[in-house]
C-alpha cells in the first residue's frame, strides 16, 4: 500500500469487528471472504467489496481473507473468468495467500448435508415445474400455497434425491426444496430450492454431478466450513439473511461455526451499469471491444484505460461503507485518479491535432538535444531528452491568426510564445491551402538566446507544447469518454439507448516524443496540457497506442447537456 493513502475510515462494520475482537469473540480472530461467481469479469462495485474484505484482513494481525469462487452454475462459468478475477484481486494489491477455495470443493459435503435436511423433515423433493413453483410462491401481498409433494415422507424424498443424483430424471423434472413456510412475509423463506437437476460439465468437477446446489444453500455452508466469522455482503442479501441463518441453525450439529452476515450498501456509480447481464450484452453485441475495453467499468477495463490500483483503493476508502444506498458521481472516481497521477505520472509531449511549424532561422540539419524534467515538482523522477529541430509540430488549438481576447496566451501572428523547455518563437507568416483556405503551415523565427532564459527587454507569457517533426514517432491516440450520455443509463427503460456515440475517438499519426517508444504496456504519462494517457497492450514498436485515462480537468458538466439535447433531437 502507498504511504500517502488515507487512513481507513472506521465504518460500522469495522466497529462491529473491533467490538468482537475486544470481547474475544471467535477466539479473537476475524476471517472474511470475497466470494465472486466466476460468470463474468469483476467491476468497480466488486472493488468496494474486495477493499473491504481484504482491507479488514490487512488491518488486523489476527485476520485473514479467503478468495472463494461460488461456482454453482457451470453453464455460465469458465476458467477465463476465474483467472481474470485472480489477476484483478492481485492487481488491486491484495493476496489470499493459501486461502483459495471453490464452492465446488464442498459438493460432496453439501450433498450429505442436504440428505440431513431431508432425513430431519426439513427438505423435500418437488415435482412442480419452474413456472408452477413461481405460481405457488404467491406475491408480496398474497401467501403462497404448499406443493402437492410437501408432505412426502423423508424416505420417499431421500429415494428421489438419490435418483436425482444418479441421473435418472430429466433436467427440470424435480427440485429439492427447503421445507420452511409458504405463508412467510419473506418470499425467500417460502420453501426455496436447494438443488436442481442440470446436466452441465463443471470446470472443476467435470461430469461428476448432474445436480447442483443453489447459491443460498451453498454460500452459508461454505462460510461455515471455512470458519468465516463475518460474512460481508451487499444490501440485496438482507432479505436472504433469515434463510442464511435458517440453514445454519438446522445443520448446527454438523456445522460448528455460525458466521454473522452483515450487509452494506452496494456501489452505485452514475454514467455506469454494473449488472453482469448488461455488461455481457455490451460485450456480446459488440457495443464495446471486450471485457477489458477501457470504457467498461470492469477492473480490467479500468486498468487498461490507465487507472492505478492506488486510485481505486483510495476511491473505495473515501466513499466509505454504510447501510444507506447512495449514488456516487463518476467525477469523484476520475478525481481520485487525477490526484494519484498528478504526483507520479511522468510528463511527455504529444500533439493530437498537428500543425507544422518551420523555424526559418534555425539550422536546417541541426538536431539539438535538450534536457527536460520528467516531472516539474519531483526531481527524483529524473530527466528525459527532447530534440529541437527546424521543423516542429504544435497543436492547432494553440494558434490563432488574431487573438480572440487578452486571455489567449498562445501563438498569434506576429507574436511570440515559448516552446515548452525550449526556445521562444515568433510567428512570421501563415501558409494556407489555396483551395480550402485551411492553415497548413506556420513560418516562424526563434530567439537563440532564450533556451532556459527569458528574452531581453520583453515578456513572453505563453507556453505551448510541441514535438520535433523529424525526431518524433507517430502514435494512435484513443480518446475515451463516458460510455453513457445519461447519468442514469436506465432512464427511459433501455440502457442501450443512452450509449454515448462519442465514447471513443481514434486519432491516427499523432506525433509524440521519441522517448515514449520505450514505454511499457500500462505505463501512464501526463501528455502536457492534454491529459493522462496509458500505453495500450495492443501497441507494437511500429504502432504505439495510447489510451486517454482521464482529462486534466472535469469538463463533462459543460458538455453533457448539449449532448443530451442532441440525443433527444
CA distances 398 to 239, 472, 529, Å, are 59, 19, 11
Query: Given this model, what pLDDT does residue 370 score?
Result: 97
Higher pLDDT, 560 or 55: 55
Q: How is the chain split into domains, by residue range?
A: 117-214, 354-470, 473-568
Q: In a 10 Å sphere around its CB, with 0-12 CB exposed, 13-18 middle and 19+ buried, how is residue 27 labelled?
A: exposed
Predicted TM-score (pTM) of the model is 0.92
CB count in 10 Å sphere of residue 561: 9
Whether 352 contacts 369, CB under 8 Å:
no
State whether the Cα torsion 275-280-285-288 is positive or negative: positive
* 457 CB-near residues (< 8 Å, 6+ apart): none
356 is catalytic: no
Higher pLDDT, 461 or 265: 265
- The C-alpha R_g of the chain, in whole angstroms, comes to 31
pLDDT tens for 75-105 read 999 999 999 999 999 999 999 999 999 999 9
Q: Which long-range CB contacts under 8 A does 451-457 form with residues at least 24 apart?
A: 451/370, 451/422, 451/423, 455/416, 455/424
pLDDT tens for 299-357 read 999 999 999 999 999 999 999 999 998 899 999 999 999 999 999 999 999 999 999 99
Compute the distance between CA of residue 490 and CA of residue 479 in angstroms, rounded to an integer: 25
Same fold, 117-214 and 473-568: no
Choosing from 14, 109, 276, 443, the catalytic residue is: 276
pLDDT tens for 235-279 read 999 999 999 999 999 999 899 899 999 999 999 999 999 999 999
Give the pLDDT band (50/70/90) at residue 557: low
What is the arithmetic mean of pLDDT over 277-290?
A: 97
Choosing from 86, 266, 409, 563, the catalytic residue is: 266
Compute the distance between CA of residue 64 and CA of residue 31 in angstroms, rounded to an integer: 5
What is the arithmetic mean of pLDDT over 123-139?
A: 97
Asked whether residue 562 carries a pLDDT value surpassing 70, the answer given is no
Choosing from 14, 25, 37, 476, the catalytic residue is: 37
Helices (H), 474-552: none
pLDDT tens for 22-54 read 999 999 999 999 999 999 999 999 999 999 999
Asked whether residue 362 carries a pLDDT value surpassing 50, the answer given is yes
Looking at the domain 354-470, which fold is it?
Answer: Ribosomal Protein L25; Chain P (2.40.240)
- All three cell numbers of 504, joined, read 471513443
pLDDT tens for 380-410 read 999 999 999 999 999 999 999 999 998 899 9
338 is catalytic: no
What is the arithmetic mean of pLDDT over 208-229?
A: 98
37 is catalytic: yes
Secondary structure (3-state) at 160? helix
CA distances 544 to 354, 465, 509, 532, 552, Å, are 17, 20, 10, 16, 22
Mean pLDDT of the chain, nearest integer: 94
Compute the distance between CA of residue 31 and CA of residue 56 in angstroms, rounded to an integer: 9
Query: Given this model, what pLDDT does residue 564 score?
Result: 36
- All three cell numbers of 497, joined, read 439507448
Whether 248 contacts 255, CB under 8 Å:
yes
Buried b (16+ CB within 10 A) or exposed e, 73-108: bbeebeeebbebbbebbebbbbebeeeebbbbbbbe
Higher pLDDT, 316 or 9: 316
* Residue appearing with cell numbers 488574431: 402
Q: Are strands 399-400 and 100-102 parallel, antiparallel or unpaired?
A: unpaired
Looking at the domain 473-568, which fold is it?
Answer: Ribosomal Protein L25; Chain P (2.40.240)
Query: Given this model, what pLDDT does residue 473 score?
Result: 96
Q: Give the alpha-carbon dihedral of 280, 284, 287, 292, to 10 degrees.
A: 60
* 42 CB-near residues (< 8 Å, 6+ apart): 36, 50, 84, 85, 88, 89, 298, 299, 300
Q: Give the alpha-carbon dihedral of 397, 403, 408, 409, to 10 degrees.
A: 90
Asked whether residue 361 carries a pLDDT value surpassing 70, the answer given is yes
What is the arithmetic mean of pLDDT over 63-83?
A: 97
- % of the chain surpassing 90 pLDDT: 91
Q: Give the alpha-carbon dihedral of 307, 312, 315, 317, to 10 degrees.
A: -160
Query: Given this model, what pLDDT does residue 74 score?
Result: 96
Instruction: Judge: domain 117-214, CATH 3.90.800.10.
Output: yes
Buried b (16+ CB within 10 A) or exposed e, 508-540: eebbbbbbbeebeeeebbbbbebbbbbbbeebe
Give the pLDDT band (50/70/90) at residue 556: low
Asked whether residue 9 carries a pLDDT value surpassing 90, the answer given is no
Amino acid at each position: 500500500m502507498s504511504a500517502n493513502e488515507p487512513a481507513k475510515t472506521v465504518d460500522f462494520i469495522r466497529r462491529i469487528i473491533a467490538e468482537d475482537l475486544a470481547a474475544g469473540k471467535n477466539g479473537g480472530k476475524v476471517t472474511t471472504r470475497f466470494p465472486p461467481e466466476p460468470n463474468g469479469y469483476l467491476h468497480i462495485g466488486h472493488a468496494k467489496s474486495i477493499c473491504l474484505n481484504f482491507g479488514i484482513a490487512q488491518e488486523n494481525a489476527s485476520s485473514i481473507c479467503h478468495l472463494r469462487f461460488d461456482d454453482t452454475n457451470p453453464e455460465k462459468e469458465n476458467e477465463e473468468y476465474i483467472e481474470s478475477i485472480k489477476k484483478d484481486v492481485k492487481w488491486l494489491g491484495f493476496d489470499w495467500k493459501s486461502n483459495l477455495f471453490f464452492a465446488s470443493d464442498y459438493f460432496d459435503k453439501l450433498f450429505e448435508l442436504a440428505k440431513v435436511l431431508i432425513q430431519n423433515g426439513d427438505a423435500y423433493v418437488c415435482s412442480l415445474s419452474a413456472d408452477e413453483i413461481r405460481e405457488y410462491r404467491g406475491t408480496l401481498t398474497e401467501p403462497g400455497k404448499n406443493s402437492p409433494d410437501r408432505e412426502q415422507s423423508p424416505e420417499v424424498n431421500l429415494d428421489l434425491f438419490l435418483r436425482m443424483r444418479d441421473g435418472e430424471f430429466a433436467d427440470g423434472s424435480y427440485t429439492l426444496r427447503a421445507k420452511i413456510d409458504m405463508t412467510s412475509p419473506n418470499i425467500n423463506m417460502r420453501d426455496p430450492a436447494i438443488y436442481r437437476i442440470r446436466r452441465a460439465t463443471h470446470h472443476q468437477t467435470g461430469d461428476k454431478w448432474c445436480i447442483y446446489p443453489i447459491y443460498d444453500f451453498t454460500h452459508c455452508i461454505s462460510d461455515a466450513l471455512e470458519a468465516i466469522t463475518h460474512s460481508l455482503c451487499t444490501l440485496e442479501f438482507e432479505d436472504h439473511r433469515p434463510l442464511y441463518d435458517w440453514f445454519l441453525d438446522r445443520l448446527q450439529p454438523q456445522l460448528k461455526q455460525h458466521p454473522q452476515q452483515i450487509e452494506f450498501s452496494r456501489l452505485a456509480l452514475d454514467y455506469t451499469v454494473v449488472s453482469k447481464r448488461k455488461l455481457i450484452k455490451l460485450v456480446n453485441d459488440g457495443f464495446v471491444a471486450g471485457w477489458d475495453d477501457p470504457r467498461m467499468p470492469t477492473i480490467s477495463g479500468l486498468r487498461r484505460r490507465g487507472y492505478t490500483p492506488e486510485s481505486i483503493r483510495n476511491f473505495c476508502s473515501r466513499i466509505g461503507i454504510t447501510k444507506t444506498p447512495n449514488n456516487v458521481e463518476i467525477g469523484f472516481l476520475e478525481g481520485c485518479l487525477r490526484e494519484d497521477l498528478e504526483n507520479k505520472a511522468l510528463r511527455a509531449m504529444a500533439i493530437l491535432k498537428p500543425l507544422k511549424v518551420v523555424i526559418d532561422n534555425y539550422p536546417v540539419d541541426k538536431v539539438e538535444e535538450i534536457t527536460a524534467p520528467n516531472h516539474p515538482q519531483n526531481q527524483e523522477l529524473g530527466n528525459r531528452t527532447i530534440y529541437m529541430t527546424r521543423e516542429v509540430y504544435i497543436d492547432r488549438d494553440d494558434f490563432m491568426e488574431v487573438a480572440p481576447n487578452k486571455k489567449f496566451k498562445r501563438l498569434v501572428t506576429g507574436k511570440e510564445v515559448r516552446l515548452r523547455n525550449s526556445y521562444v518563437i515568433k510567428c512570421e507568416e501563415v501558409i494556407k491551402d489555396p483551395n480550402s483556405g485551411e492553415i497548413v503551415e506556420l513560418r516562424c523565427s526563434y530567439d537563440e538566446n532564450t533556451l532556459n532564459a527569458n528574452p531581453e527587454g520583453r515578456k513572453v507569457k505563453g507556453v505551448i507544447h510541441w514535438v520535433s517533426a523529424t525526431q518524433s514517432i507517430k502514435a494512435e491516440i484513443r480518446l475515451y469518454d463516458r460510455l453513457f450520455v445519461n447519468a442514469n443509463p436506465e432512464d427511459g427503460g433501455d440502457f442501450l439507448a443512452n450509449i454515448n456515440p462519442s465514447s471513443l475517438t481514434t486519432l491516427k499519426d499523432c506525433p509524440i516524443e521519441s522517448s515514449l517508444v520505450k514505454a511499457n504496456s500500462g505505463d501512464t504519462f501526463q501528455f502536457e496540457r492534454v491529459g493522462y494517457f496509458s500505453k495500450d497492450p495492443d501497441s507494437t514498436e511500429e504502432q504505439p497506442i495510447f489510451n486517454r485515462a482521464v482529462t486534466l480537468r472535469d469538463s463533462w458538466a459543460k458538455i453533457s447537456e448539449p449532448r443530451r439535447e442532441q440525443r433527444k433531437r
